[in-house]
Amino acid sequence: MALTVVYAIGTGHVVGALDLTGAGGTPPGPETLVGRELPLRVSLGGGRTATLPLNARELAVASVDDEPGVLADPLAFGVELSPEGKPKPTLLRLPAWTGDGGIALAADGVTLTVKVPVPRAAKAVVLVSDDQETHVLAGEIPAQHREVTLPLTLTSGGTHGVLALVAGWAGRLEKEAVT
């Protein structure tokens, strides 16, 4: 196991991966790898970029089996915990939920819609850029449902960077317009 991943504690999503060749033993803590926060960036067009920072207190680190795909697309993978709360060495490939209406920004909130109803409640964390601040929202999609709407006040017509993490589904980092 030479692959080290940084993952979101609340949802299990891998948000960063590195190959620590020659490293052994216990991986360093998230603060050692990312500092106080891990900035994820998305282009908003016109030379603008939104930075969505994940606080290091909300992250953890795990040594896992080699999985080359995680280096190119970390949000497509998740860390599963053992009954003892330890990360399992094999990463989970998470199903995508892109397409029609997966993320919808409105002046009064953000709605996340996955492809099929979740079998049990699925935690959701959303970061939305808004000029100089980042809104951090948390909730869950109830069991046997496909969506959740999280309250947020935005200006109609604006474009924002969005990081959406729904437990059990691949993470999404993209730009979205308020409709």
pLDDT, tens digit only, all 179 positions of the chain? 578 999 999 999 999 998 866 556 677 889 988 999 999 999 999 999 999 999 999 999 999 998 989 999 999 999 999 999 999 999 999 999 876 669 999 999 999 999 999 999 999 999 999 988 999 999 999 999 999 999 999 988 889 999 999 999 999 999 999 98
Can you give the CATH number for the domain in which 151 is found?
2.60.40
Same domain, 11 and 75: yes
In a domain, 144, yes or no: yes
Give pLDDT, residue 32.
87
- Are 28 and 109 part of one and the same domain? no
pLDDT of amino acid 24: 60
In a domain, 51, yes or no: no
Which residue, 48, 66, 93, sits at the end of a domain? 93
Using alpha carbons only, what angle is made at residue 81 by residues 78 and 87, rounded to the nearest 5 degrees? 80
**Domain assignment present for 48:** no
Q: Give me the domain span that covers residue 24.
A: 3-35+56-93
Whether 41 maps to a domain, the answer reads: no
Q: Is 44 part of a structural domain of the chain?
A: no
Are 75 and 8 in the same domain? Answer: yes
Q: Is the dihedral of CA 32, 37, 43, 47 positive or negative?
A: negative
Rounded distance between C-alpha atoms, residue 97 and residue 138, angstroms:
18
